[in-house]
């Protein structure tokens, strides 16, 4: 349990997938959050782990320097270095973890390991303050989870995807439509000019609070194969409507489970987190549903939805208050459960 407010400057590193990010926070206030994306994966239709790891190595020093400069903080003023331990790509995580250890060792300050999924949730505390307990629907490229957040560092997963994550559902179906990686943001953009009612894709029947998205990808694939056989220009002619229909199906699946979670727990303080919470239709319908049901709703700012080190910094800060430090022989975890 966290009681006191302690003055601390935290440097945070995030390198779990294909974004290299560094942030600086002072007493829970974010002073800088720098993110370097990696365009190298676009042509391959997905993140190539080896390329991601090499790009992190190139980016990490300039990104950390830029964050410290933007924050107006000198290296010797840093009180602790927080880093993403996992889950993520091993080669990517290794770069951030090794950098954090070396930097902290040179400064003789402690290191703080952070679970990336916990950090997505605690991103809410950068600008806001949901009260405990609250429910969080965390939707990213690698995860889809319904989490009961009991306290800063005490969380229970109530349900999660049995196969693909919601972000993967966006990216993989976007790829079938010929869109470059990551397709989620583009699908969001094109869907704005489409009619979601022109096509229909079935929702999976999954028990309790778990999710499944692999069937959607398969039904979109079979549908497109059949239509393109009849009309080779089918996708180009219907791109916007297809994007709108696929997006609507994903949002329907997510919000139905969220309603079920509220009914089951009786907790009606509800939050969205993770990269897919940048989706404008999910945000719009989440707010509408919340209003209709009388929930108190929270969505992070856009910059704190997708991967960023600010969320690692804020989580690091709460761990710092608990003196929850890691030892120098800590290793990254590709799988790291909440
Ligand atoms: O949290 P995040 O940045 O990285 C992971 O931890 O996975 O999430 C990335 C995912 C990708 O699948 C991306 O397509 C999706 O978030 N995403 C979106 C949007 N912005 C990002 N999906 C739909 N609509 C968006 N606007
Ligand atoms: Zn993420």
Task: Verify that 218 and 273 share a domain, yes or no.
Answer: yes
Are residues 290 and 141 located together in one domain of the fold?
yes
CATH number of the domain enclosing 213: 3.30.420.40
Nearest CA to ligand 1 atom 22: 184
Task: Give the position of tokens 């404008």.
Answer: 280
Taking the centre of ligand 1 as the mean of its atom positions, its distance from the CA of residue 41, in whole angstroms, is 14
The span from the CA of 253 to the CA of 285, in Å, is 12
Q: What is the pLDDT of residue 140?
A: 95
Confirm whether 338 is domain-assigned.
no
Number of domain units in the chain = 2
Could you tell me if residue 101 is inside a domain? yes
Q: Which ligand is nearest to the CA of 274?
A: 1
Supply the pTM of this predicted model: 0.95
Q: Which residues surround ligand 2, an ion (CB under 5 A)?
A: 140, 307
Q: Ligand 1 pocket test: which of 41, 45, 89, 184 has the largest number of ligand atoms within 8 Å of its C-beta? A: 184
Q: Which residues line ligand 1 (CB under 6 A)?
A: 17, 140-142, 167, 170-171, 182, 184-185, 188, 274-276, 278-279, 306-307
The number of C-alpha atoms within 13 Å of 173 and in the hemisphere containing its C-beta is: 33
Pairing of strands 269-273, 154-160: unpaired
145 and 220 share one domain: yes
Print the domain residue range for 91. 9-122+305-321
**Cα–Cα distance for residue pair 174/181, rounded to 1 Å:** 8
Q: Where would I find the H helices in the chain?
A: 49-71, 90-107, 116-122, 124-127, 166-176, 183-191, 214-230, 234-265, 280-293, 310-321
Nearest bound ligand to CA 89?
Answer: 1
Per-residue pLDDT at 44: 83
Verify that 151 and 252 share a domain, yes or no.
yes
According to the model, what pLDDT value does residue 2 have? Answer: 52
Same domain, 162 and 88: no
- Does residue 256 sit in the same domain as residue 143? yes
**pLDDT at site 5:** 60
* Residue 328 resides in a domain: no
pLDDT score for 3? 47
Q: Give me the sheet containing 144-151, strands edge to edge.
A: 154-160, 144-151, 134-139, 269-273, 296-298
Both 150 and 239 in one domain: the answer is yes
159 shares a domain with 91? no
Compute the distance from residue 138 Cα to the ligand 2 centre, in Å: 9
* Whether residue 45 is found in the same domain as residue 116: yes
12 C-alpha to ligand 2 centroid (Å): 15
Structural domain contains residue 197: yes
SS3 category, 211? strand
Q: If you take atom 8 of ligand 1, which residue's CA is the nearest one?
A: 275
- DSSP track, 88-140: S-HHHHHHHHHHHHHHHHHHT--EEEEEHHHHHHHTHHHH--PPSSEEEEEE-
Quick check: is 4 in a domain?
Answer: no
Does residue 337 sit within a domain?
A: no
CA distance 100 to 105: 8
- Is residue 269 located within the same domain as residue 169? yes
Q: Is residue 334 part of a domain?
A: no
Residues 190 and 317 in one domain: no
From 338, 327, 316, 336, select the one nearest 8 (Cα to Cα): 316
Q: Are residues 115 and 207 in the same domain?
A: no
Please check whether residue 259 lies inside any domain of the structure.
yes
Cα of 307 from ligand 1 centre, angstroms: 8
- State how far the Cα of 18 lies from the Cα of 41, in Å rounded to an integer: 8
Low-confidence ranges of the chain (pLDDT < 70): 1-6
């Amino acid at each position: 349990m966290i009681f006191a407010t302690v003055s601390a400057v935290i440097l945070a590193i995030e390198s779990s997938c294909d974004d290299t990010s560094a942030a600086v926070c002072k007493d829970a206030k974010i002073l800088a959050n720098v993110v370097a994306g990696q365009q190298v994966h676009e042509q391959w239709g997905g993140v190539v782990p080896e390329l991601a790891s090499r790009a992190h190595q190139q980016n990490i020093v300039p990104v950390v320097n830029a964050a410290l400069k933007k924050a107006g903080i000198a290296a010797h003023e840093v009180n602790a270095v927080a880093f993403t331990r996992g889950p993520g790509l091993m080669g990517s995580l290794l770069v951030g973890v090794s950098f954090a250890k070396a930097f902290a060792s040179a400064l003789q300050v402690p290191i703080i390991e952070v679970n990336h999924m916990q950090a997505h949730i605690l991103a809410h505390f950068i600008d806001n303050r949901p009260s405990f307990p609250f429910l969080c629907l965390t939707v990213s490229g690698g995860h889809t989870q319904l989490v009961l957040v009991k306290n800063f560092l005490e969380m229970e997963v109530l349900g999660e995807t049995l196969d693909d994550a919601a972000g993967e559902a966006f990216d993989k179906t976007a790829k079938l439509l010929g869109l470059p990686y990551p397709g989620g943001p583009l699908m969001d953009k094109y869907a704005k000019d489409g009619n979601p009612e022109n096509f229909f894709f079935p929702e999976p029947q999954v028990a309790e609070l778990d999710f499944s998205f692999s069937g959607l990808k398969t039904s979109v694939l079979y549908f497109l194969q059949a239509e393109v056989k009849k009309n080779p220009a089918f996708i180009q002619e219907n791109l916007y409507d297809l994007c709108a229909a696929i997006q609507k199906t994903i949002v329907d699946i997510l919000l139905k489970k969220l309603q079920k979670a509220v009914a089951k727990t009786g907790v009606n303080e509800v939050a969205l987190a993770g990269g897919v919470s940048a989706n404008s239709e999910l945000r719009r319908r989440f707010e509408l549903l919340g209003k209709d049901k009388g929930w108190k709703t929270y969505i992070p700012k856009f910059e704190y939805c997708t991967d960023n080190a600010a969320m690692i910094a804020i989580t690091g800060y709460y761990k710092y208050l608990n003196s929850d430090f890691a030892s120098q022989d800590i290793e990254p975890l590709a799988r790291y459960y909440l």
